[in-house]
């Protein structure tokens, strides 16, 4: 049987409590979702501002479809770069206050394209240990030296930078760490990059729309303006739609247009998505109440949880991980919550380090204070 080795691997995953299951969602993304005909209150999505099913975005997508059709038909460099894509790139660059922006079909593709276009064999990538998988995959694919430093450890990063003989140095970091919820020490990282003549690539997948004045992201949060920064953010999380962009110095963007293979060799995303994203950008900027609500309920969760056995990680963002420990224990807690109509994902290795399996509670402006109280009291009752 040619599949027997695969079956053995799958059985092994099952035995370790690591086999993933997909669930089929029957409703739009929101605080309440229906699975298998049953309603749940969900704390699983990255739709931090509650925009994914906003009727105004749905309407904008319909309008975009009517105006531009569905398929882009070609890659950006051939004939797929539409007026909506172009307008969105300009709006994004203005929004994050950087010279120029470039759209990618997803955050994964953006990271792969950025890193492989900017560094190669004679270069080095320096990465936080807890960075997103897409940044790690990108570094490996680039063939640059790949040096990882312990999470948040600027001292260790400095030593690596000082010892490096690489031609080009690229420091890469999640801005908000996706499984821990903490914010990277960006001013320190930038100071090190300046001292050692390195570039700083920030992946703001979880900060864009949420952090900083008007949701402008981690650079606005820290008040940072620097030509060394290559800023990347995704558009399928707080922005509620799909895709990603990178914003940076014109020479960086022009290089990516010429050389980023995950940009060049792929069909442009449907222009109706870009049209919807123009609307989303406006809602992100205008509706401060969404960020205010999010901060309020983060506070409510911390206040209401009264747990000794498990540990809520120190996070001030919408990602509030509760570390349980073993894979099976985390799964068991998630299953008991599900029995009460509450969905919280159990995140296990290799997404997080061994022995730190956790519930990744993610909060959204779509949740009410009452929703968060329900979750807290269920968790308080389970321990
Ligand atoms: C989600 C995520 C990505 C990938 O973005 P997609 O648009 O979902 O492909 C990249 N980096 C980080 C930190 C993420 O959380």
Whether ligand 1 lies within 6 angstroms of the CB of 319 is answered as no
Q: Is 178 a catalytic residue?
A: yes
Which DSSP symbol is given to 102? E
Structure tokens that stand for 350 in this block: 């290799």
The per-residue pLDDT string of the chain (383 residues; one tens digit each, 9 = 90 and over) reads 679 999 999 999 999 878 888 999 999 999 999 998 999 999 999 999 999 999 999 999 999 999 999 999 999 999 999 999 999 999 999 999 999 999 999 999 999 999 999 999 999 999 999 999 999 999 999 999 999 999 999 999 999 999 999 999 999 999 999 999 999 999 999 999 999 999 999 999 999 999 999 999 999 999 999 999 999 999 999 999 999 999 999 999 999 999 999 999 999 999 999 999 999 999 999 999 999 999 999 999 999 999 888 989 999 999 999 999 999 999 999 999 999 999 999 999 888 989 999 999 999 999 999 999 999 999 999 97
Q: How far, in Å, from the CA of 328 to the mean position of ligand 1?
A: 26
End-to-end CA distance of the chain: 46
Q: How far, in Å, from the CA of 347 to the mean position of ligand 1?
A: 16
Which DSSP symbol is given to 287? -
Phi (first) and psi of residue 358, to 5 degrees: -150, 160
Query: Pick from 274, 266, 270, 275: which is nearest to 75 by CA?
Result: 266
Mention every residue, 6+ apart, whose C-beta is less than 8 A from residue 302: 312, 320
Probe target for ligand 1 pocket from 203, 232, 277, with the most ligand atoms within 8 Å of CB: 203
The upper half-sphere exposure of residue 247, i.e. CA atoms within 13 Å in the direction of its Cβ, equals 25
Distance, in Å, from the CA atom of 192 to the CA atom of 131, rounded to the nearest integer, reads: 18
- CA distances in angstroms from 359 to 18, 44, 205, 319, listed in the order given: 14, 9, 20, 10
Prediction pTM value: 0.96
Whether ligand 1 lies within 6 angstroms of the CB of 132 is answered as yes
Distance, in Å, from the CA atom of 40 to the CA atom of 23, rounded to the nearest integer, reads: 12
Q: How far, in Å, from the CA of 232 to the mean position of ligand 1?
A: 10
Whether ligand 1 lies within 6 angstroms of the CB of 80 is answered as no
């Amino acid at each position: 049987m040619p599949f027997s080795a695969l079956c053995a691997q799958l059985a092994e995953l099952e035995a370790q409590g690591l086999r993933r299951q997909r669930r089929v969602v029957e409703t739009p993304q929101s605080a309440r979702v229906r699975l298998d005909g049953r309603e749940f209150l969900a704390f699983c999505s990255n739709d931090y501002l509650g925009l994914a099913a906003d009727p105004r975005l749905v309407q904008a997508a319909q309008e975009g479809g009517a105006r531009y059709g569905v398929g882009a038909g070609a890659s950006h460099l051939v004939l797929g770069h539409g007026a909506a894509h172009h307008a969105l790139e300009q709006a994004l660059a203005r929004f994050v206050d950087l010279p120029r922006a470039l759209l990618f079909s997803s955050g994964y593709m953006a990271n792969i394209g950025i890193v492989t276009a900017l560094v190669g064999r004679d270069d080095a990538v320096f990465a936080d240990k807890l960075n997103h998988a897409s940044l790690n995959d990108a570094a490996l694919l680039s063939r640059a030296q790949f040096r990882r430093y312990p999470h948040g450890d600027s001292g260790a990063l400095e030593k690596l930078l000082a010892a490096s003989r690489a031609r080009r140095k690229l420091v890469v970091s999640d801005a908000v760490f996706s499984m821990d919820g903490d914010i990277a020490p960006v001013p320190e990282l930038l100071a090190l990059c300046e001292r050692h003549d390195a570039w700083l690539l920030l992946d703001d997948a979880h900060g864009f729309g949420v952090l900083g004045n008007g949701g402008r992201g981690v650079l606005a949060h820290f008040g940072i303006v620097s030509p060394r920064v290559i800023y990347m953010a995704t558009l399928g999380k707080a922005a509620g739609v799909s895709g990603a962009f990178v914003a940076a110095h014109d020479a960086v963007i022009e290089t990516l247009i010429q050389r980023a293979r995950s940009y060049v060799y792929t069909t442009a995303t449907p222009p109706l998505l870009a049209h919807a994203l123009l609307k989303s950008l406006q809602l992100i900027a205008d509706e401060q109440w969404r960020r205010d609500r999010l901060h309020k309920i983060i506070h409510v969760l911390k206040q209401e949880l009264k747990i000794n056995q498990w540990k809520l990680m120190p996070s001030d963002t919408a990602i509030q991980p509760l570390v349980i420990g073993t894979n099976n224990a985390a799964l068991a807690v998630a299953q008991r919550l599900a029995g009460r109509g509450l969905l919280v994902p159990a995140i296990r290795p290799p997404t997080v380090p061994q022995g730190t399996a956790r519930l990744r509670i993610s909060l959204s402006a779509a949740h009410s204070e009452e929703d968060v109280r329900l979750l807290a009291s269920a968790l308080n009752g389970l321990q």
